[in-house]
Amino acid sequence: MPEPFIRVSGLRKVYRKREQEFLAISDASFEVAPGELVSLVGPSGCGKTTLLKVLAGLQDYDAGEVRIGSASHSFDPSRDIGMVFQQALLLKWRRVLENVLLPAEILGLPMRESRERARDLLAMVGLSGSEDKYPYELSGGMQQRAAIARALVHDPKLILMDEPFGALDALTREKMNLELLRIWKQSGKTILFVTHGISEAVFLGTRVIVFTAGPARMAANIPIKLPEPRRLDVKTTEMFGDYSRQIYHLLGME
């Protein structure tokens, strides 16, 4: 394995409210290599969003170590992370291109080049011709594509995705899974993909990290060796079924 890009060891996060303590993550340890797409799957409340916030530097933690980048490649969360959430969160008064440009504006990047890049990214996510539309003119899937382009516009090293396709219908979601794999291959980015969908996690991931709830802990880290490039019909294979069963079992759901 090349030098890891992300190293998490013994991570523990406790939320405290008055007298109450709530253990959101206990003893999570894993590594992510540069260019990997790692899925993180678990029931709601198991600490997935908390983990992404910790990685993004938006949330402190109680014990353990989190390192991103390396001595030779320093890492600045505000510059080097792109985030995609369950809702596209586009600004409704801005056209699609202007929405995609937002991170570049906030970071004060040169606008001419950023505009070029935003157009290229919109083409990459299949939204050429929609640059001047308003968000309400786009379908849910198209809005999420725009959100992905926005997450890439400042050329971050790491993309954190928090149930990005959770609000889409099943068919659009499968289509977006294929699109994401294509965008990942084309961009070469490191991606951490959070989902509560077991099938989605297995289909997308080079590895699947499984979190269980009550108490929240990391239960497994499973390399996924499905044939590449991944196609939807892989879901009907025995191998895919075996991976899924293994995860259902870990989550106590068989």
Binding region for ligand ADP (CB under 6 A) = 15, 17, 22, 24, 42, 44-50
- Shortest separation between residue 248's beta carbon and ligand ADP, angstroms: 17
Which stretch, 21-29, 42-50, 60-68, 184-192, contacts Mg ion (CB under 5 A)? 42-50
Name which of 54 and 118 has its Cβ closer to Mg ion.
54
* Minimal CB distance residue for Mg ion: 49
Side-chain half-sphere exposure of 81, counting CA atoms within 13 A:
20
Segments in 26-169 forming alpha helices (H): 48-55, 77-80, 96-100, 102-107, 111-124, 140-152
Query: If binding is defined by CB under 5 A, does position 39 make contact with Mg ion?
Result: no
- Say which residues have a Cβ less than 8 Å from residue 178's Cβ, sequence separation at least 6: 232
Name which of 48 and 230 has its Cβ closer to Mg ion.
48
- Encoded tokens for 92: 């409704």
- Distance in angstroms (rounded) separating the CA atoms of residues 50 and 56: 10
**Number of Cβ atoms within 10 Å of the Cβ of 225:** 10
- Shortest separation between residue 6's beta carbon and ligand ADP, angstroms: 17
- Shortest separation between residue 159's beta carbon and ligand ADP, angstroms: 17
- Shortest separation between residue 45's beta carbon and Mg ion, angstroms: 8
Number of residues that bind Mg ion (CB under 5 A): 2
- Shortest separation between residue 17's beta carbon and ligand ADP, angstroms: 6
Q: Which of residues 44-73 bind Mg ion (CB under 5 A)?
A: 48-49
- Shortest separation between residue 165's beta carbon and ligand ADP, angstroms: 15
44: nearest Cα among 163, 138, 180: 163
Which of ligand ADP, Mg ion, none does residue 50 bind to, with CB < 5 to 8 Å depending on kind?
Answer: ligand ADP
- Encoded tokens for 79: 């510059």
3-state SS, 22-58, equals EEEEEEEEEEECCCCEEEEECCCCCCHHHHHHHHCCC
- Distance in angstroms (rounded) separating the CA atoms of residues 134 and 96: 6
Name which of 50 and 114 has its Cβ closer to ligand ADP.
50
Name which of 45 and 77 has its Cβ closer to ligand ADP.
45
Which of Mg ion, ligand ADP, none does residue 47 bind to, with CB < 5 to 8 Å depending on kind?
Answer: ligand ADP
- Encoded tokens for 231: 């196609």
Interacting residues with Mg ion (CB under 5 A): 48-49
